[in-house]
Structure 1
Amino acid sequence: MNHPKNALLERCKRLGLAVPSFDTKSTGPAHERTFISDVLLVGEVIGAGQGPNRREAERRAAEEALAYLDRSSGESAATAPAKRKKRKGTPEPETPVPPVPTPTVPTSTSAPFEGPWPIFEGVLAACLQIANSRVDPALIGEAALLNVQQLGLQLYKNTLAELGEVVEVEEPLA
């Protein structure tokens, strides 16, 4: 299988879109780094990922960007046209490419919130801090608050989903 980063570059080229760029930053102490990566297409974030190293964060961000392109263009890996070799000198037929809509906040799924999710204060606080740092500084008031809430929720849900099933253990009373 193609690495998601390569698949994203190929998909953008095939759709006639600009070359996506990755903006990756590290946070945390040196012994416990966390890398956060955004996929930018013409200056707009179309995917975000987080991981223990740069490669993993960029892979997750590329996967999310591919999912975004699937949703926005209606194309999925199953319905993508098969690759075929082009003869030398034969012009490539022009196919109309639907414009990629600009997201305010990238979402990993279109399903509504299915809570209640367990609350882990430290994780939730970190997700809200990351969301606050990623929201467009030009937004103010209710729009900014809504975007921080939406992105924070998305990051929190994705983080919990990556951790797997949470089993609550009752602590014995002392």
Structure 2
Amino acid sequence: MNPKGDLIARLTALGLGTPTFDATAEGPPHERVFHVTVSAGGRALGQGEGRSKRDAERGAAEAALAALDAQEGDQSVQTQLAQPRGRWPIYAAVLEGALEAALELAPEDATLDDVREDAARLYRDLLADLGHGPEEA
């Protein structure tokens, strides 16, 4: 069983990109406890805790998978995850790079809409990774 790999595959299939795992540690070295939050598309999906970073990441991935399983039939929840609310800031050079990357990575039979969707996802993921989420409307 590989919850982290399963989560990555699931989020990719949903078009949400690759998840990020943010870890913190507390306690003395001999009693260290790690806390991990896993996010995708600028939204937290699950949290985990463990004596090692790996165990905490596994717990966070399992929690995220359980949350996705619970919401599996609810398309509105998946839509909310895929498209965070608010208006994303526009950085022309970053957007241009996302479009170029999406076009370069697109299969030959991809439609213009497919390329636009991939470019938008790349742009959102990059901005979310840099901490520049959507502005509240």
TM-score class, shorter-chain normalisation, is 0.5 to 0.7
> What are structure 2's unaligned runs of at least 5 residues?
83-137
| Secondary structure, aligned partner of 1:18 | coil
Aligned partner letter, 2:53: R
| Secondary structure, aligned partner of 1:37 | strand
1:52 aligned residue: 51
After TM superposition, where is structure 1 displaced by more than 6 Å over at least 4 residues in a row?
none
CA contact (8 A) 1:22 1:38 kept: yes
CA contact (8 A) 2:16 2:81 kept: no
> What are structure 1's unaligned runs of at least 5 residues?
76-96, 103-174
Structure 2 CA distance for partners of 1:98 and 1:42, relative to 1, 3 Å: closer
1:30 aligned residue: 29
Rounded Cα–Cα distance in structure 2 between residues aligned with 1:100 and 1:57: 26
Which fold has the larger relative contact order, with Cα–Cα distance below 8 Å and residues 6 or more apart in sequence?
A: 2
- TM normalised by structure 1 equals 0.42
The structure whose Rg is larger is 1
CA contact (8 A) 2:3 2:62 kept: yes
Rounded Cα–Cα distance in structure 2 between residues aligned with 1:99 and 1:30: 42
Offset, 1:60: 0.3
Rounded Cα–Cα distance in structure 2 between residues aligned with 1:12 and 1:60: 17
- TM normalised by structure 2 equals 0.53
Offset, 1:100: 4.2
Offset, 1:16: 1.3
How many equivalent residue pairs? 80
Rounded Cα–Cα distance in structure 1 between residues aligned with 2:41 and 2:14: 14
Aligned partner letter, 2:35: I
Matched, 1:15 2:14: yes
Offset, 1:48: 0.1
Q: 1 or 2, which has the higher helix percentage?
A: 2
1:67 aligned residue: 66
Over the aligned positions, Cα root-mean-square deviation in angstroms equals 2.2
Amino-acid identity (%) = 45
Matches of residues 25-174 of structure 1 in structure 2 within 5 Å? Answer: 25-74=24-73, 98-101=78-81
